[in-house]
Amino acid sequence: MTREPVLGTPVPRLEAETKTHGTARYAGDVLPEHLAFAWPVPATVALGRVAGIDADDAARAPGVLAVLTHENAPRLHPGEDGTLDVLQSPAVPHRGWPAALVVADTLDNAREAAALLRVRYEPETAELLTGPQDPRAYRPEQANGGHEADLDTGDFAEAFAAAPVRLDLTYRIPALHNHPMEPHTSTALWQENGDLVVYDSNQGSTTVRDTLADLFGLEPGQVRVITQHVGGGFGSKGTPRPQAVLAAMAAKVVGRPVRLALPRGQMAALVGHRAASVQRVRLGADPGGRLLALAHDAFNSTSTVREFAEQSAVPARVMYAVGNLRTTHRVAALPIPSPSWMRAPGECPGMFALESAMDELACSCGVDPIELRVRNEPTVEPGSGRPFAARSLTECLREGARRFDWDRREPAPRSRREGRLLLGTGVAASTYPLLLVPSRAEVQAVAGGFEVRVNATDIGTGARTVLAQIAADALDVPLESVRIRIGDSALPPAPVAGGSAGTNAWGWAVHDAARALRRQLADGGPDLAAADTGAAVADAPDLARHAFGAQFAEVAVDRDTGEVRLRRLLGVFAVGRVLNPRTARSQLAGGMAMGASMALMEGSPLDAAFGDFTARDLAAYHVAGYADLPRMEVAWLDETEPHATPMGSKGIGEIGIVGTAAAVANAVHHATGVRVRDLPLHVERLLQPWHSEDPR
């Protein structure tokens, strides 16, 4: 019997109809009886303590059920993540920190009453301006992702001093916000037996369950977190967030189910951001552009509540052949909101700096930027000395060059015009690690087909769909006979939708369980099979596993106004086997759109007096819309990763954002001759140098 292949085909999202019809239930859509609503009251000082709260007016307002403060809120068992220790002390570590929580019978009543609360603060002086020279800067124990903070090979200082070509460049990226369309939302209810049920918007409800159990002193089996549909996360829902803790506290106090959907204006301070960063890149090379020395020193601001050291210097340990390498991470902890994960933490900002610097080196040496990268292609991973698994960066660059007619490009900047428009093209490389993470899954033969159970999370990526494809393929049955159950911590535990690792982690376990079930059924064995990939992950060979890509941009810059318009964006990726071209394209194009948005308009200024972000809603925090973007051209190589999962896939969720901003900035330099090292590429950054007739 031959069956149409299902893995690798563009299956539409299984939940597409429920989403377009509005019947898909998100965390804020469940309507338990007697539901009450909570509204947080954000602290209005940058640093200090709550000295007194006058809650009389708020408590008497219509419909108010409770006013929670640090004085009366349930005590928590504090864990590692300080952002969750809400209403436990009078301390205000940053502006926007919850000083109180009002609970009422309706959302409007909760919001009205919150405005009546009078909180008195004892402010302290906050020193908010920072940079790499800040005396408060220190070396963290580790950079995010468990990476060593510092890693050196050879002797950078000596090799750099002796290099014929030397560049010493500094790049700045402002704070960026994830801003998923669905705000962070929880609907919490306590059952009569003391168990806690939370409908929560997150990227991994096993982690949320375990964290809530710890905080409330419960066994994990007493907590159930349900996450059926999620309206985006981009990393901001990758860790448990305070709305889940506050909703559970409030539900306990009022004895009713409570919903807390964070107001958009409070998200910037409470659910993480990409840290504002300063990166110094030094490149020493021979006249042909071969690297002799490379230093990448990354600095970012973090908070006093939770340390976050973005691993921006880590890609320099992966990308190019260089014997003398220095990579460092430093942070300064300030009274500001806590940064955290945002799509491709580390790789995204790090590759903006490194890939801009490589373009600057290409210009300095008079070498084509693609040829420069090819000349510096390593044979082993420079930082670790490990051999690479599949590494196809050169092929991505070559394929992109072919599609982009790169050989017709005039290398000199400012050499193409169309009336007032200056035209240019740029290229940058892209990379993201292939992380192997253990997961469990079950597959059972049920009436009419098979049921797959795994606590995966579909944050809009198509996880459900691709898991059904993996199961159908491994069972050798049609897609229609597979039913997928995900998004519930009562299911077999599974890792977060993060690190571009979800499909590989869950899919590997689903594959193994499905294969085991197929064998069992053939032998007349039981109808249920379970898999745990923990041992297989631990036994995986010690290779440097990364996805690679090449990003190409064409821009038109208005000579008089400085307006930058994107004309073309092309990404060519080597991401292993593509399991669903429809959802994969959407991930890669979405990442590129986010990278272009970061290049052109995103940025969240920190108010130097108040220590909070001034752009707290989607009117002030600009993200690219359709009119700002060209048609996304996404391509991938025919690649299979043989050294990782049985599917041969790599991660695709994040690599699309990596390198895009550098490709755009490099194109702007090619168009105008102006090198912008501070994002975003606002018009004033372009106009200033060329109106002073000194194009850098």
Q: CB-based burial of residue 627 (10 Å sphere; 0-12 exposed, 13-18 middle, 19+ buried)?
A: exposed
CB of residue 575 to ligand MOS, shortest distance in Å: 15
Residues 6+ apart with CB under 8 A from 316: 281, 294, 296, 325, 327, 350, 354, 383
Q: Which one, of 318, 297, 288, 309, lies nearest residue 156 by Cα?
A: 297
Minimum CB distance to ligand MOS smaller for 6 or for 342: 342
CB of residue 206 to ligand MOS, shortest distance in Å: 15
Cis status, amide bond into 642, omega within 30 of 0: no
CB of residue 500 to ligand MOS, shortest distance in Å: 7
Interacting stretch for ligand MOS, rule CB under 6 A, among 113-121, 335-343, 572-580, 606-614?
Answer: 335-343
Interacting stretch for ligand MOS, rule CB under 6 A, among 289-297, 339-347, 414-422, 606-614?
Answer: 339-347
Compute φ and ψ for 165, nearest 5 degrees.
Answer: -115, 125
Interacting stretch for ligand MOS, rule CB under 6 A, among 59-67, 221-229, 249-257, 338-346?
Answer: 338-346
Pairing of strands 36-42, 258-261: parallel
In 179-304 the beta strands, taken as DSSP E runs, fall at 185-190, 196-200, 223-226, 258-261, 277-285, 291-303
99 contributes a contact to ligand MOS by CB under 6 A = no
Distance between CA atoms of residues 307 and 42, nearest Å: 21
CB of residue 235 to ligand MOS, shortest distance in Å: 3
Minimum CB distance to ligand MOS smaller for 147 or for 343: 343
Q: Which one, of 555, 549, 550, lies nearest residue 669 by Cα?
A: 555
CB of residue 344 to ligand MOS, shortest distance in Å: 6
Minimum CB distance to ligand MOS smaller for 358 or for 652: 652
CB of residue 234 to ligand MOS, shortest distance in Å: 6
Kindly calculate the radius of gyration of the chain based on its CA atoms and give it in whole angstroms: 26
The correct pick among 39, 341, 548, 636 for binding ligand MOS (CB under 6 A) is: 341
Distance between CA atoms of residues 350 and 439, nearest Å: 29
- Residue 654 a catalytic site member: yes
For residue 416, give the 3-state DSSP assignment.
strand
The correct pick among 96, 180, 492, 499 for binding ligand MOS (CB under 6 A) is: 499
3-state helix, strand, coil in the chain (%, to 5): 30, 25, 45
Q: Which one, of 419, 337, 305, lies nearest residue 604 by Cα?
A: 337
Interacting stretch for ligand MOS, rule CB under 6 A, among 64-72, 341-349, 638-646, 670-678?
Answer: 341-349
Minimum CB distance to ligand MOS smaller for 341 or for 508: 341
Distance between CA atoms of residues 556 and 417, nearest Å: 9
Amino acid in the structure at residue 142: Q
Is the backbone of residue 486 left (phi > 0), alpha (psi -120 to 50) or beta? beta
349 contributes a contact to ligand MOS by CB under 6 A = no
CB of residue 180 to ligand MOS, shortest distance in Å: 11
The correct pick among 42, 48, 238, 648 for binding ligand MOS (CB under 6 A) is: 238
Taking each helix axis from N to C end, the angle separating 660-672 and 683-691, rounded to the nearest 10 degrees, works out to 30
Catalytic residue, from 15, 347, 554, 654: name it. Answer: 654
Q: How many CA atoms lie within 13 A of 610 on its CB side?
A: 15
CB of residue 16 to ligand MOS, shortest distance in Å: 23
242 contributes a contact to ligand MOS by CB under 6 A = no
Q: CB-based burial of residue 192 (10 Å sphere; 0-12 exposed, 13-18 middle, 19+ buried)?
A: exposed
235 contributes a contact to ligand MOS by CB under 6 A = yes
Interacting stretch for ligand MOS, rule CB under 6 A, among 336-344, 466-474, 587-595, 642-650?
Answer: 336-344
343 contributes a contact to ligand MOS by CB under 6 A = yes
Q: What binding mask, one character per residue, do residues 192-211 give for ligand MOS by CB under 6 A, x or -?
A: -----------x--------
46 token code pair: 């940058």
The correct pick among 48, 242, 345, 492 for binding ligand MOS (CB under 6 A) is: 345
- Residue of minimal Cβ distance to ligand MOS: 235
CB of residue 232 to ligand MOS, shortest distance in Å: 11
CA 92 to chain centre: 27
Strand partners, 105: none
Q: What is the DSSP letter of 334?
A: E
Q: How many residues bind ligand MOS (CB under 6 A)?
A: 9
Minimum CB distance to ligand MOS smaller for 203 or for 672: 203
The correct pick among 183, 383, 493, 498 for binding ligand MOS (CB under 6 A) is: 498
Minimum CB distance to ligand MOS smaller for 179 or for 518: 179
Binding site for ligand MOS (CB under 6 A): 203, 235, 238, 341-343, 345, 498-499
User: Which positions are annotated as active-site residues?
Assistant: 654
